[in-house]
Structure 1
Amino acid sequence: MTDKPPGGTGRWSISRRRFITGTGSILGAAALAGRPIGAQAKTALAAGPIANGAHVPVLIIGTGYGGSVAALRLAQAGVDVNMIEMGMAWDTPGSDGKIFCTTTAPDQRSYWLRTKTKAPLNYFLGFPIDRNISRYTGILDAEEFSGITVYQGRGVGGGSLVNGGMAVTPKRENFGTVLPSVNPDEMYTTYYPRANAGLGVGTIDPAWFDTTDCYQFARVGRKHAQRSGFPFVFVPDVYDWNYMKQEAAGTATKSALAGEILYGNNYGKKSLQKTYIAQAKATGRVTISPLHRVTRVAPAAGGGYTVVIEQLNTTGDVTATKTVTSDRVFFAAGSVGTSKLLVKLKATGALPNLNGEIGKGWGDNGNVMCGRANHLWDPTGSLQSTIPCAGIDNWAAGGAFAEVAPLPTGIETFASFYLSITKNPNRAQFSWNAATSTVDLNWQTAWKQPSIDMAKTIFDKINSKEGTIYRTDLFGVYKIWGDHLTYHPLGGAVLNKATDNYGRLTAYPGLYVIDGSLIPGNTSVNPFVTITALAERNIEKIITTDL
């Protein structure tokens, strides 16, 4: 074993004793408990953002699920880590005393560098509901490509800041199509359990679910699903369910019951800030530079990699450009961010030897949304928790799994709302547009039709049974299906194709991909537990073989 990384400059600086101690802890319960590894935790790295001219052992681009896992495990193994995050830290309250704004009253904190909101559900009762806001580095990015809008979290914690927290492990019988080159035994015996423990996953108390006002909407969804013969399943989540009970009882500040989710959740949700990132920072070996954007990665003359980084202000202006070197670089900017950056680096000659699979295999996890108009005897409740807790499973027969989603408007809507994940086979490709110096995605809206057809295997039957109809006022004028978006971007640097079977970019020793871009377009359920588990698998292998 050598302390010098291949293609690097020997800056890992890990003794044999520390390596053995650290790796052993990662494999054991101590790491899962988040304790620092080694005899002594190193004193904290220099405070503040990364400095121009710095030379660091590891640089991680992004602070979402994959990047946070890598940062924690590397730090526990004794490696100093610098994380680069394009979004804000989200640790300072606004003028209202809250860090995040609500879904129903979005302000400048809501969107990434927009002057008007772009809500996924952008009509209500047939009227547009988007509003003007100040341009700001807000928490939700509605990134528009040809044919699709991709919603992504912007800030320390990535997508964990803005998703519904539904922490679903795929059924084992479906795993072969999710990650065909990965051994399911190791995932289901080791890495899925490790991910669920690290994320703080739990399930709603069924007895409380049956009685609380805030899940009337989901109980209506259960009744309709079961009356049509569909399995209704409770889904794990990373919300603190005891805290939500206190919200409902009036003994804690309302959060999920105050319309907080799409633009962040102030109290009860266990985002990465409270789990993996908190543990990583506690090691004293991890520093995070918010409002920094990586624009270039290329081999350095003396080994390792030269990384060019732009520092931003809160209106999106570049205030400084920094050049640093790193022995190893992990791409963890999310499916879209990582794919765009790698495609750009290959096309512009910074990393020309990346293979031809870069940018391919991108999918939307089959996302499609719809609403149903219920009868007056099926009210869904004016108070609705923003945290979904259940779904309708018709994957085997119809290729669809549908979240029973909230519609937290604060008024009775008599509507059932759903986000479906479907077995959509269509895959898109990112490509470099030299004329505009941007990266394009060739998704076509028509490719959503299989998702609509699969979702209809559930909702056509329910509507027929209940004598109900689809809502036509939520996504436009007389438009039934929300087929214009995805919350679950996946692929673009597919495992064992664009990379090796552990995320290494083999043409460039010391470069790795460790996020949702590794997963080829579909997970059959909400993807973040699979992204986390795969990152746990890959980083363990990288630590034990590459250090």
Structure 2
Amino acid sequence: MTDHGVPGNGSNGFSRRGFLARTGSILGAVALSAQVVPAHAAQASPAAAAIGDGARVPVLVIGTGYGGSVAALRLAQAGVDVHMIEMGMAWDTPGSDGKIFAHTTNPDYRSYWLRTKTKAPLSNFLGFPIDKNVPRYTGILDAEEMGGIIVYQGRGVGGGSLVNGGMAVTPKRQNFGAVLPSVDAAEMYDTYYPRANAGLGVGLIDPAWFDSVDCYQYARVGRKHAQRSGFPFVFVPDVYDWDYMKQEAAGTVPKSAVGGEILYGNNYGKKSLQLTYLAQAKATGRVNISALHQVTSVAPAAGGGYTVAMNQLNTDGSVAAVKSVTADRVFFAAGSVGTSKLLVRLKATGVLPALNDEVGKGWGDNGNVMCGRANHLWDPTGKVQASIPCGGIDNWEAGGAFAEVAPLPTGIETYASFYLSITRNPHRAEFSWNAAAGKVDLNWQTAWKQPSIDMAKSIFDKINKKEGTIYRSDLFGLNKIWGDHLTYHPLGGAVLNKATDNYGRLHGYSGLYVIDGALIPGNTSVNPFVTITALAERNIEKIIATDL
């Protein structure tokens, strides 16, 4: 093997030059083509549905991700009218290609939030940079750069559920005390985790189908290598429609996961919040959503409740209108980064001065770190790879790492195994107000990823030694093995029982709540969205019973 992690010259004549020549078409699609679709092709819902300037609502929810969607549904079922504010688009109208979402290997104007160049998690492939210019647009994936880390976040109605891999993992019960120490584990595992899993539509892949279908060859290779090195491989639940994926593989329905869709949304098959909690919430007739609206302030109103200022956005990010509405109660559900930044700014600028000093603290990256391994020619991972991961390697107890066996859906045979690890990284960062720059900063340091790398190495060094393989060094830059520059799982910044009480009520203000991933202090030991959902189910039940 060469130091680039692709097969070198050998008796079979398989050279890097020949490999590159045969991959020209995919590299062209990934790195060079830029089919720009007119910006009017996919717009938000009609402006007539948007909240009006001067409106008064009983409850306003900032954000439409997991926590906000749970709150909206349960409040509506309790008879409370709710208005949800979403910074991103509604994602309910196809573009000129007939699809709502862009394909992973051909990003276009729909792909990124107000960027003029893509910022893919894998910056390189076979030594070639793959990012390309795109029109500035309110696209679906935000690659927010701050504090030495890129935080990937979903932008649109449904939040992170639009862009994640859908791995719906409940933490092991013995690990829960380290995740949320002030929460009763029994009630979570007996009541709220089951409720969340039911609401999200969680299901498990058919193991027999997994063993036979071409599109999971990459995961079977990952399982074989893990087990040969003594690590347990575990199937992981997901929110994809597995019956639909079987039809995709059989060629009887339009392809989504089997077609490699993931990073910029799935056009079919995936049970995002649009199809689960939000669909149920809208069906009550008590929930309205204003897309392309960005909240800028939440201040106590003279007559009670809160004055909420917001900008209505155009699809180029410019401000179409400025609005002020009044809400009796406000739920912050803008995601860990969005909620934390807003609260830190409002406290520091004197708008909500009674927020306590825990606001902005306890932020973490869920220990995310990525890597690839270069396999031998007798271990191909498959030209067609289902983009929905379904299993992982569990070395949490011994080495502090759980590694998803992740897809690399390039459309070509790469002979590569790819992983996203979740690790027990102890570092926590803090958001703070930078008055001179007029913005919120995060004090994360790239060097803080080293514990995550060490924990991931507890798995992959052993596998490489057993298999006689090496790490790929061409995926995150030139001669760079570890993807230590990013997180998909931002958590914390308004930690439960610190910045809030034990149910998400913000200290200092009656009627202000946090109900998203900002409540969770930096790590869940697994993919976090089931825990965010279950915690929201727990908290909103208490709030409805006692506050309303």
TM-score by length of 2: 0.91
Is the partner of 1:258 in helix, strand or coil?
A: coil
Q: 2:432 corresponds to which letter in structure 1?
A: S
- Cα distance in 1 between the residues matched to 2:341 and 2:312: 19
In the TM superposition, 1:130-209 aligns within 5 A as 130-209=131-210
> % of aligned pairs identical?
85
CA distance in 1 between counterparts of 2:348 and 2:217 reads 52
CA distance in 2, matches of 1:321, 1:260: 36
CA contact (8 A) 1:83 1:286 kept: yes
Give the conservation status (yes or no) of the 8 Å contact 2:364–2:492: yes
Q: Which residue of 1 aligns with 2:512?
A: 511
Q: How does 1:225-374 map to 2 (within 5 A)?
A: 225-374=226-375
Shift of 1:270: 0.1
Q: Which residue of 2 aligns with 1:522?
A: 523
Contact 1:58 1:79 (8 Å CA) reproduced: yes
Distance in 1 (alpha carbons) for counterparts of 2:308 and 2:438: 19
| 8 Å Cα contact 1:47-1:287 kept in structure 2 | no
Residues 421-440 of structure 1, C-alpha deviations (whole Å, 9 max, x = no match): 00000000000000111000
Match of 2:460 in 1: 459
Does 1:490 pair with 2:491? yes
Deviation for aligned residue 1:146: 2.1
The runs of 5 or more residues in structure 1 that have no matched partner are 1-45
Q: Which residue of 1 aligns with 2:56?
A: 55
Q: Distance in 2 between matches of 1:224 and 1:276?
A: 38
* TM-fit CA distance, 1:47: 5.7
Does the Cα contact within 8 Å between 2:179 and 2:523 map onto a contact in 1? yes
Equivalent residue for 1:408? Answer: 409
- Equivalent residues of 1:364, 1:486 under 8 A apart: yes
**Do the aligned residues in 2 keep the contact of 1:230 with 1:393 (CA within 8 Å)?**
yes
Corresponding residue for 2:44? Answer: none
| Amino acid aligned to 1:161 | L
User: How far apart, CA to CA, are the structure 2 residues paired with 1:160 and 1:250?
Assistant: 26
Secondary structure of the structure 2 residue equivalent to 1:257: coil
CA distance in 2, matches of 1:102, 1:501: 41
Instruction: Compute the displacement of 1:497 (Å).
Output: 0.2
1:113 aligns with: 114
In structure 1, what is the Cα distance between the partners aligned to 2:308 and 2:265?
30
Q: Structure 2: how far apart are the matches of 1:321 and 1:529?
A: 35
* CA deviation profile, 1:322-356 (whole Å, cap 9, x unmatched): 01100000000000000000000000111000000
Distance 1:135 1:197 in 2: 38
CA distance in 2, matches of 1:168, 1:215: 19
**Matched residues, number:** 502
Q: Distance in 1 between matches of 2:331 and 2:363?
A: 20
User: Where does residue 531 of structure 1 map in the other structure?
Assistant: 532
**CA shift for structure 1 position 122:** 1.1
| Counterpart code for 1:522 | N
Distance 1:108 1:459 in 2: 37
The alpha-carbon deviation at position 491 of structure 1 amounts to 0.1
Distance in structure 2 (CA, Å) of the matches to 1:195 and 1:47: 33
Residue 217 (str. 1) matches residue 218 (str. 2)? yes
Deviation at 1:169, TM superposition (A): 0.1
**Distance across 2 between alignment mates of 1:277 and 1:437:** 34
CA shift, 1:506, in A, is: 2.7
Quote the residue 2:444 is aligned against. Answer: 443
Structure 2: which amino acid aligns with 1:408? P
8 Å CA contact retained: 2:163, 2:263: yes
Map of 2:419 onto structure 1: 418
User: Contact 2:354–2:507 at 8 Å: present in 1 too?
Assistant: no
Tell me which amino acid in the other structure corresponds to 1:199: L
Runs of 4+ off more than 2 Å: none
Q: Which amino acid aligns with 1:423?
A: R
The answer to whether the 8 A contact 1:74-1:543 is kept is yes
Q: Which whole-Å CA distance do the structure 1 matches of 2:147 and 2:272 have between them?
A: 31
1:545 is paired with a residue whose SS is helix
State the TM-score, normalized to the length of structure 1: 0.91
Q: Following the alignment from structure 1 to structure 2, what is the Cα–Cα distance between the partners of residues 270 and 65? A: 13
Q: What SS is found at the alignment partner of 2:49? A: coil
Look up the equivalent residue of 2:403 and give its one-letter code.
A
- Distance in 2, matches of 1:407 and 1:280, equals 35
